[in-house]
Amino acid sequence: MKFFVDTADVAEIADLAATGLLDGVTTNPSLVAKAGRDFKTIIREICALVPGPVSAEVAALDYEGMITEGRTLAKIAKNVTVKLPLTWEGLKACKTLTGEGTMVNVTLCFSANQALLAAKAGATFVSPFIGRLDDQGLEGMELISEIRTIYDNYETLSTQILAASIRTVNHVKQAAMIGADVSTVPPAILKALVKHPLTDKGIETFMADWKKTGQKI
């Protein structure tokens, strides 16, 4: 499974990119607002740091506006992935932009039927929102499983499942077990994946025993 980080914090992305674990980045209007910087500048800087797909979301809700903004964003760098909402207008724009060779991430997916339409429209990625479904008392991972089953039924569907709205490390594990192609996670969750109390305990024991030897490497 590929790992994307879900943030517009360029410094945070640079730190994570240094590990070699990042396959891409996703941003959204809320994350850009939190960063408090110029949107296009942020995307340009991220694309220079990460060679993989970098999702940049349009603000327009109509087809013409999405196409204009999508083409503008696509010119920033070759690895820009234009992010479009899962609406009729968004699907139409998806078909046009992917036809022009632009990667497209269709976002705010909450049903398997929506994911099927996104794939038919040629989306590079579809982003089902796990956490937001869980918030409504539903099973977000069930949606990932349904989409995986549908996509696997048809060889002509090449859209990648990008598990989004990840809230816990367990979400990441479950998404990987189901077969999501990508998980986009907040920096804190990505860093938490490496943690385990027994790892910490083992290091503590080894270091204590090493100290007893009085040696240096």
Q: Which residues contact 36 (CB under 8 A, 6 or more apart)?
A: none
- End-to-end C-alpha distance for the chain, whole angstroms: 37
Unique residue bearing structure tokens 């999508």:
70
Indicate if the alpha-carbon torsion angle 51, 187, 103, 153 is positive or negative. positive
Active site residue 195: no
Q: What are phi and psi of 164, to 5 degrees?
A: -120, 175
- Active site residue: 75, 83, 95, 211, which one? 83
Q: Which residue has the tokens 């998806």?
A: 94
Which residues are catalytic, by number?
Answer: 83
